[in-house]
Amino acid sequence: MNKSVFSSLVAVLASLVVATPALAAEEVNLYSYRQQSLLQPLTDAFTEETGIKVNVVHAAKGLAEKIKAAGENNPADLVLTVDIGRLEEVRAAGLFEAVNSPVIDEVVPAHLRHPDNLWFALTTRARVVYAHKDRVKEGELNSLKDLADPKWQGRICTRSGKHVYNIGLIASVIAEDGEVAAETWLKGLKANLARKPQGNDRAQAKAIFEGQCDLAIANRYYMGKMFYNTKSPEQQEWAEKIRVVYLDQDIGGRGQHINISGAGLLKTAKNKDNAIKLLEFLVGEKAQGLYATANYEEPVRSGIKTDEFIESLGDFKADRISLQEVADQRAAAARLVDRVGYDM
């Protein structure tokens, strides 16, 4: 083999190794399931306030495995996710350490935290029903259970039952009503679907607008994203045709199902103090306001001024069930989706 080719290759590989980011004194390293565009304003504000640099890896799958494989040398301090399922993945692998912060204890309610403070919510995300303003009358649908009513046959759209958002929702039904009741309900819902589960939450809104269905299950914050979308103005039309229905609001009812975006501190964290500083910043007024106005999620901190349009969608009573109980039913929910053949 040509020696020069080989040696230049070695040189290139070596330069990659040398290019390891030099570790600055004051920094904090995040593994994040949250997208760059949302996270950046928050981390920028934090750096500006504290001078602490934030390094981020945006990850999708295999984060728990990555942290495990790196062992003691694992460079990350914090994990930020958008779903209880993903936090639970890291917690179940035994990688989180309890965070003892009076600030966080005060801001985040108990049902939105792990019993031992291994993880906690930064925002909540209501998984509501989108209804067509004209084709569905106000008050015609009140409860998650109503979605299984045969009168909606061929009128409901959802994304895959296996998506983390729906696994969370179904797991909450199992946690509240038991597996048998959940199976009956999911079968009923499946029978009412207008089409095979597909697309993302936004695609469900589009399907309502185009008349393919009248109801859809989706996260509320997408309403804000569509309503303010100047780049794709057609999405504003979709949002205008939709009424958000909050479920199970009756007295004694379970309340609207919510999921969370949340965070946990890694056992192997090298910058623990900075990590906790960042976490406290993220539940602070400034960051919570940013979450509410940039991503239209519900702040965990009370008394935060939220977005005007989101406020116009009305207030709701949220389910108070412990999210850890919901997380414990995730595998059962995934199996239920298979048994019912929800996606087939």
Partner 1 sequence: MSTTANSTSPFSLARLRFDPWVWLALAIAALAIIPIATILMLSWADNQEIWQHLLDTVFWIYVKNTLLLCLGVAVFTSLMGTGAAWLVTRFNFPLKSVLVWALLLPLAVPSYILAFVITDQLEYAGFVQKTLRTLFGWQTARDYWFPEIRSIQGAIAVLSLVLYPYVYLLARAAFVEQAAQLFEMSRCLGKSQTQSFFKVALPLARPAIVVGVTLALMETINEYGTVEFFAVPTLTAGIFDVWLNMSSLSAAAQIALMLVSFSILLLGLERYSRNAGKFYKLTGQSPTMFAEPLSGFKAWLATALCLLPISLGFILPITVLTNYALRNLEQGLDQYLNSAWNSFSLAIMAALLTSILGLLLAYGVRLSKSNKMRSIAEAATLGYAIPGAVLAVGILYPLGVFDNTVDRLMKAWFDYPTGLLLTGTGGALVLAYSLRFIALSYRTLDASLTKITPEMDDASRILGSRSGKTLWRIHLPLIRPSVLTAMLLVFVDTMKELPITLILRPFNFDTLSTQVWDLASLEQLEQSALAALTILLAGIIPVIIMSRNIGSSERRPQGQ
Which run of H or of E encompasses 273? Answer: helix 272-282
Based on CB atoms, which residue is closest to partner 1, 133 or 195?
Answer: 195
Based on CB atoms, which residue is closest to partner 1, 167 or 247?
Answer: 167
Which run of H or of E encompasses 5? Answer: helix 3-18
Helix (H, G, I), strand (E, B) or coil at 289: helix
CB of 317 to partner 1, least distance (A): 28
CB of 308 to partner 1, least distance (A): 22
- As a whole number of angstroms, the distance between CA 209 and CA 79 comes to 37
| Residue type at 319 in one-letter notation | D
Using alpha carbons, select from 279, 280, 308, 316 the residue that is nearest to residue 292: 308
CB of 343 to partner 1, least distance (A): 6
The answer to whether residues 142 and 249 touch, using CB atoms and an 8 Å cutoff, is: yes
CB of 25 to partner 1, least distance (A): 16
CB of 290 to partner 1, least distance (A): 16
Based on CB atoms, which residue is closest to partner 1, 287 or 333?
Answer: 333
Radius of gyration of the chain (CA): 22
- As a whole number of angstroms, the distance between CA 99 and CA 11 comes to 44
CB of 278 to partner 1, least distance (A): 15
Strands (E), the chain: 27-32, 53-58, 78-81, 96-97, 120-132, 156-157, 215-219, 242-245, 258-266, 298-299
Based on CB atoms, which residue is closest to partner 1, 15 or 302?
Answer: 15
| Residue type at 113 in one-letter notation | R
Based on CB atoms, which residue is closest to partner 1, 90 or 313?
Answer: 90
- As a whole number of angstroms, the distance between CA 193 and CA 19 comes to 52
The answer to whether residues 79 and 93 touch, using CB atoms and an 8 Å cutoff, is: no
CB of 105 to partner 1, least distance (A): 28
Based on CB atoms, which residue is closest to partner 1, 127 or 330?
Answer: 330
Using alpha carbons, select from 145, 330, 135, 309 the residue that is nearest to residue 222: 309
Based on CB atoms, which residue is closest to partner 1, 56 or 318?
Answer: 56
CB of 66 to partner 1, least distance (A): 6
For every residue of 120-133, DSSP letters joined together read: EEEEEEEEEEEEET
First to last CA, the chain: 53
Based on CB atoms, which residue is closest to partner 1, 197 or 299?
Answer: 197
The answer to whether residues 171 and 332 touch, using CB atoms and an 8 Å cutoff, is: yes
CB of 280 to partner 1, least distance (A): 22
Based on CB atoms, which residue is closest to partner 1, 2 or 302?
Answer: 2
The answer to whether residues 130 and 246 touch, using CB atoms and an 8 Å cutoff, is: no
